[in-house]
Structure 1
Amino acid sequence: MNTHEHESAPDRLGEYLIGKKIGAGGMGSVYLATNVHTDQVVAIKILPSSLAREAGFVERFHREIEALKKMHNPYVIEFYDSGVENDIYYYVMEYVDGETLTKRLRRDKRIDWKTVIEISIQICSALKAAHDAGIIHRDLKPSNLMLKDDGTVKLADFGVAQLFATEKLTVTGGIIGTAEYMSPEQAEGKRVSRQSDLYSLGAVMYVMLTGKPPFSGKTMLAIIQKQKYGQFDRPGRYVDDLPVWLEEIVCQLLEKDPQKRFPDAYVLSRRLQEVLNKYEMSTSEDTYALSGTSDVSVTPTVVQSASDQEAGSGTLMQGLMRAQLEADSTGSKLSQLFDNTFFLLGILALLVLGGYFWFQERELTKYEMFEKAQQILKQPENPEWYTARDKYLLPLLESPPTELEEKIKKSLNQINTYELRSKAGMTARRRLRSGQENEPRRFIMLAQHYLEAGNLVQAEIILSALVDALQGDTERKEMRDVAELMLNALREDATRTAQRYVMLTQSMSNADTLFKEKKYKEAADVWKALIVLYGQDPNEVAQKQIDKAKRNLANLPELNQAEDAPTETQKAEPENE
């Protein structure tokens, strides 16, 4: 525990009387305070003296103050004052009487999509103010968003904000932020941009809509790996009435490539407003007025939610009628087209044909079904793999094309292995929560950690040893079964087993080539490195290669001899298979 957690706040700082503690974070604590002259209730953030003595904290605290000073926006916490007293740095800001978005989500689990849009538009305004001031927030998350009783949102905590003009920070910023809401480029320690904050906003919108972030995991490293390479479930999978427009916006915000996201917060806010406008237009029975904004096209638009696509044809016709009425009221050239009978007949024919092809899903061929499954399986392991199995592969197995049969079975084995491993992990976690089997569970969770990190060799070593250690232990039979299940699943995964020894095989071949080129020291270095990396691997394939590397090393004379004058032993070829 850090020493500053034990430090108590002074009774008074400057002209502010300090009250109860209302928040805490890595950059100090926040207290309720009162101005002795005006009786104004404020919030005061204090950097303890213990942190003030540590390198970088005072500079970072001042950056947060400078960031707040630059911004004037109704959706950003307002800055009032700052100072230092007895080595205690502090700044005074607006006190928001409300709750954090985190607290709201804990209570309500999810937020309806219209409210999500209203909250997000306010956040866009706050981000635009920050970006216009040359500031990237870098830590946008539910706990940094305050919700007032009147629905107003306040963006807080610029403690890790990055100023565009601060060159030193750009270079040395590193990975700072919260993993669940961190953009892929930030997770890699790369330069962040406005689009990085927009990615975080997309993650916040996702958690508001679905009740969970797009990526989660047991460790920060696991989450960061998913942010960089993983694929999230589309939010419409969890929200039945979600308009497809809003779903597409969230998915675009969560693009891995920053250039594929929206260009800035202002454009995003307009797109969010369009969703509300289009939804109101599509559901209204007594109005035909289109949105007055230049961004909303008069072109009729089909409104479809994730669970209500059958209303598409009727909605499209309503849109056409509204467009016609709007055109009549303005006297545009569009009205002349609608007066043309042939044009109207053509539109009707297109509607009929388009509606038919829109709602009739073409039956996929067996090869297309297999290809769909393979596209899903190219993603990192995730529950969507079950869709590939249930929707495409199992139906195919009933009467598969001969040339695909083995490939289908191989894919099913791959999915079944993932399922076994997932179930084993869940069983282990249930045992963990029960507080029983402390020692075996520790090793199982350690093995699970290595599996998620891709260190299959170490995971296999731990699981194999645990299975042997619990042999005949009736009290811990269940934990042994879990370990054995995970171990079998790992060993049965032939594809992974083959892939994990590609480097070993290639490196052995490279060492042989180096030896033939009389680069004896380089060859020896490769063999020694492989012994370190794979020496403890219990797999027979690996041990065979490691034994060969050891024999080749044993046959080498002292390497301090001149490499251009090999001895008789050196002239011999290294042992081959």
Structure 2
Amino acid sequence: MSNRKIGPFELGEKLGAGGMGIVYRAVYTKTGIPCAIKVLAPDVNDSTAVQQRFEREIAILKKLQHPHIVRYYGGGKVGNQRFYAMELVPGGSLESYLKAKRKLPWEEALEFARQIAEALEHAHNAGVIHRDLKPANLLMTPDRQLKLTDFGIARDTTATALTAAGKTVGTYAYMAPEQIRGKPPVDRRTDLYALGCVLFEMLTGETPFEGDNPGDVLVKHLQEEPLRVTSFAPDCPIWLEDLVFRLLEKDPENRPYDALAVQVALEEVRQKVAQQASLVGNTLAGNATKTQGAGAAADVRAALGKKKKRKKREQAPFYEQLWFLVLCLVLLAGTAYGVYWWRNREAYLFARAEALMSTENEANWLSARDYYLKPLLAKYPRGEFASKAQEYLERIEITFLERQARSRAMRNIEPKSPAEAVYMEADRYERFGDRITALHKYESLIDIFKNETGDNRLFVQMARQRVAKMRAEGLDKRDVVQIVEDALKRADELEASGQASKRIEARNLWNSIVELYADNQELAAHVETAQERLRRKPGGK
């Protein structure tokens, strides 16, 4: 290949190959400037679709001029061979760098993430979504500047789409859930998810989701949560770990808004780490008491200096000697710092938890539980914030316990406990609109299980909350008979509308009447009416 030419370029060694093209080291013969040449692979060179993708990649690179994106020099066609020239980046890829280093110090990973975010911001502002961000597509200069390359499957939102709707494209280890499903929105936040995967890998030496085969990995992207970064890299700042989790959110809406927001977040991590280091440094240095300590030591030395005039056999008692007084000062300062650290560590843990709990994002609640609330209660069980931390933990437990109970009910799985069975029965009456019966069921649950522990205790607490909410909102003035009659009337109206979705809603109402009131003799006629409606064919009279 060393003597092969294509246009004004002399090709050298092969640098890499992908599904669409091959990249060679080359020299521009007119000037002797080294560059890289990408040519279409011979086995796909005649494919119209591949040719269109290649032309699109060129069009994308033409409009992207950024220090962290590989620069496009020009391209063309010689005979039947399409090619383009681009900047030669001699330092290898981030992938090879990670293979050599395994994982990176958090400071270096943060800097690389910032560079990637800058490249993505520029691309996104130009309407380009990369869709294949990974370490192999991040080239590195000798001075460790990253350059994003390979826009072969990038999507230009300003141009006509070439990718068929619903088609999955990308590298499975870094693919966002929406990308795996092949459904919109595949937008700038899809690239941010991939950035989260790359950042996770830089910090830990592993991709967020590992598996025996690509299918396992894709399922984990869709269904599982990543492990904690700090379990692999204990020195990683918690703020950086939080950012990684936000980037890896399953729902694009819960990720950072754009690449600029990621850059801001990364800079905030730097600042918070610096502030923390400054605080610890000042505290350890004892700036607040240093002058006083120095003055006290000077006074001690002055006082003891006078005693040097005494005869040696009249040596001062040990508690008046310099070493003892200095030791006392050190112990006093250490105790003061220990108290300060103890109290402020608790306050810090609670502040972090409170910030996460104030959001609507339940993934943040789990982070608050695992990283701050549980450690706080373990270290400070009788601390200033212990009771409030316990309240937050209970709130989290209740939220997820109720969700699990609803999930079991929807799938017709037996409740895990009698308390759950009563609670879900009450919940169904409440959702049907019969708040009178629901209230009775909730109060019965509270009375029966009020002295229980574990999950039963939580269901009691949940029932109390529902009772308080219902009483605050005011109870329905209708009796149960009127509630069911109104439901029958509503169902008939929905059925008569002729709309499929409303007919389904009508049948759900009739089913609820049959299932909830089958044993109520007072409502036997109403139950029979609902059964008769269900026996009719949809839309029948």
TM-score of the superposed pair, with normalisation by structure 2: 0.54
Letter in 1 for 2:187: S
Letter in 2 for 1:258: P
Find the residue that maps to 1:46 and give its secondary structure.
strand
Find the residue that maps to 2:270 and give its secondary structure.
helix
Paired residue for 2:231?
Answer: 237
Letter in 2 for 1:86: G
Whole-angstrom CA distance in 2 between matches of 1:115 and 1:84: 41
Residues 216-231 of structure 1 aligned to structure 2 (within 5 Å): 216-231=210-225
Whole-angstrom CA distance in 2 between matches of 1:357 and 1:22: 61
Paired residue for 2:498?
Answer: none
Whole-angstrom CA distance in 2 between matches of 1:32 and 1:26: 18
Letter in 2 for 1:249: L
Within the alignment, does 1:357 sit opposite 2:384 as a pair?
yes
Q: What whole-Å deviation, never above 9, does each CA across 1:35-61 have from its counterpart, x for those lacking one?
A: 111110101111033312124111111
Q: What whole-Å deviation, never above 9, does each CA across 1:214-241 have from its counterpart, x for those lacking one?
A: 1121222221111111121121222211
Aligned counterpart in structure 2 of residue 280 of structure 1, from 269, 274, 292? 274
Find the residue that maps to 1:99 and give its secondary structure.
coil
Moved more, 365-374 or 156-165: 365-374
Contact 1:313 1:355 in 2 (8 A): no
Paired residue for 1:42?
Answer: 35
Within the alignment, does 1:75 sit opposite 2:68 as a pair?
yes
Aligned counterpart in structure 2 of residue 129 of structure 1, from 119, 122, 130? 122
Whole-angstrom CA distance in 2 between matches of 1:53 and 1:10: 24
Letter in 2 for 1:112: P
Whole-angstrom CA distance in 1 between matches of 2:153 and 2:81: 20
Per the TM alignment, residue 86 of structure 1 is displaced from its structure 2 partner at its CA by 2.4
Find the residue that maps to 1:245 and give its secondary structure.
helix
Contact 2:21 2:41 in 1 (8 A): yes
Residues 330-341 of structure 1 aligned to structure 2 (within 5 Å): none
Q: What whole-Å deviation, never above 9, does each CA across 1:177-228 have from its counterpart, x for those lacking one?
A: 0111001000000121000000100111011111111112122222111111
Find the residue that maps to 1:84 and give its secondary structure.
strand
Find the residue that maps to 2:123 and give its secondary structure.
helix
Contact 1:49 1:87 in 2 (8 A): no
Q: Which has the larger radius of gyration?
A: 2
Change beyond 3 A, Cα 1:98–1:402 = same
Paired residue for 2:199?
Answer: 205
Change beyond 3 A, Cα 1:64–1:360 = same
Whole-angstrom CA distance in 1 between matches of 2:100 and 2:343: 35
Within the alignment, does 1:93 sit opposite 2:86 as a pair?
yes
Moved more, 369-378 or 248-257: 369-378
How many residue pairs get aligned? The number is: 327
Whole-angstrom CA distance in 2 between matches of 1:219 and 1:311: 47
Within the alignment, does 1:109 sit opposite 2:106 as a pair?
no
Letter in 2 for 1:270: V
Contact 2:53 2:162 in 1 (8 A): no
Letter in 2 for 1:313: N
Aligned counterpart in structure 1 of residue 259 of structure 2, from 265, 274, 280? 265
Contact 2:347 2:385 in 1 (8 A): no
Whole-angstrom CA distance in 1 between matches of 2:119 and 2:6: 29
Contact 1:32 1:43 in 2 (8 A): yes
Within the alignment, does 1:313 sit opposite 2:313 as a pair?
no
Per the TM alignment, residue 361 of structure 1 is displaced from its structure 2 partner at its CA by 9.6
Letter in 1 for 2:52: E
Q: Structure 2 unaligned runs (5+)?
A: 283-339, 349-379, 406-450, 457-534
Contact 1:183 1:200 in 2 (8 A): yes
Letter in 2 for 1:132: N
Paired residue for 1:189?
Answer: 182
Contact 1:135 1:162 in 2 (8 A): yes
Moved more, 119-128 or 213-222: 213-222
Contact 1:183 1:199 in 2 (8 A): yes
Letter in 1 for 2:28: N
Q: Structure 1 unaligned runs (5+)?
A: 1-7, 289-308, 318-352, 379-400, 407-516, 520-577
Whole-angstrom CA distance in 1 between matches of 2:161 and 2:76: 24
Whole-angstrom CA distance in 2 between matches of 1:134 and 1:377: 41
Change beyond 3 A, Cα 1:46–1:361 = same
Find the residue that maps to 2:170 and give its secondary structure.
coil
Letter in 2 for 1:207: E
RMSD: 3.8
Per the TM alignment, residue 167 of structure 1 is displaced from its structure 2 partner at its CA by 3.6
Whole-angstrom CA distance in 1 between matches of 2:231 and 2:399: 18
Contact 1:281 1:287 in 2 (8 A): no
Contact 2:165 2:182 in 1 (8 A): no
Q: What whole-Å deviation, never above 9, does each CA across 1:128-167 have from its counterpart, x for those lacking one?
A: 1101111000000011111222121111111100010234
Change beyond 3 A, Cα 1:158–1:356 = same
Find the residue that maps to 1:42 and give its secondary structure.
strand
Whole-angstrom CA distance in 2 between matches of 1:366 and 1:245: 21
Change beyond 3 A, Cα 1:149–1:250 = same
Paired residue for 1:479?
Answer: none
Whole-angstrom CA distance in 1 between matches of 2:76 and 2:392: 71
Find the residue that maps to 1:29 and give its secondary structure.
strand
Paired residue for 2:240?
Answer: 246
Whole-angstrom CA distance in 2 between matches of 1:312 and 1:63: 59
Whole-angstrom CA distance in 2 between matches of 1:103 and 1:253: 24
Whole-angstrom CA distance in 1 between matches of 2:247 and 2:396: 29
Aligned counterpart in structure 1 of residue 168 of structure 2, from 155, 163, 175? 175
Paired residue for 2:47?
Answer: 54
Whole-angstrom CA distance in 1 between matches of 2:83 and 2:98: 30
Find the residue that maps to 1:21 and give its secondary structure.
strand
Contact 2:105 2:203 in 1 (8 A): yes
Whole-angstrom CA distance in 2 between matches of 1:260 and 1:369: 19
Change beyond 3 A, Cα 1:366–1:279 = closer
Contact 2:129 2:157 in 1 (8 A): yes
Contact 2:3 2:12 in 1 (8 A): no
Letter in 2 for 1:279: V
Q: What whole-Å deviation, never above 9, does each CA across 1:264-318 have from its counterpart, x for those lacking one?
A: 1011101101110121122126999xxxxxxxxxxxxxxxxxxxx967828989x
Residues 155-554 of structure 1 aligned to structure 2 (within 5 Å): 155-169=148-162, 171-172=164-165, 174-191=167-184, 192-284=186-278, 313=344, 356-358=383-385
Letter in 1 for 2:194: S
Residues 558-573 of structure 1 aligned to structure 2 (within 5 Å): none
Aligned counterpart in structure 2 of residue 16 of structure 1, from 9, 14, 34? 9
Paired residue for 1:26?
Answer: 19
